[in-house]
Amino acid sequence: MPEGTRVSLVVFECGRLQPDAAGLERLVAGRGTEVRAIGTDGALGAAAVVTLR
């Protein structure tokens, strides 16, 4: 990623076709992160927005 670029990933509690914990660790790879929880009412459960800096 170019310096100063932020990328956000949305991960759902019960979602399919998304990175598991190990996959998220590889994506983060030592970058600074910010995680925000978002309550939802749908079948996918709670969501988390993971922002990579």
Which pLDDT tens digit goes with each residue over 12-32?
999 889 998 899 899 888 889
In this predicted model, which residue has the larger pLDDT, 29 or 1?
29
Inter-residue contact 46 to 40 (CB < 8 Å) = yes
d(CA 44, CA 34): 21
d(CA 53, CA 45): 26
In this predicted model, which residue has the larger pLDDT, 1 or 33?
33
Per-residue pLDDT at 12: 93
Domain boundaries, the chain: 7-52
Residue 39 has pLDDT above 90, yes or no: no
Q: Using 50, 70 and 90 to split pLDDT, how confident is the model at 47?
A: very high
**Strand intervals (E) in 1-53:** 7-12, 33-38, 47-52
Give the global pTM: 0.77
d(CA 46, CA 11): 9
Closest CA to 45 of 9, 16, 24: 16
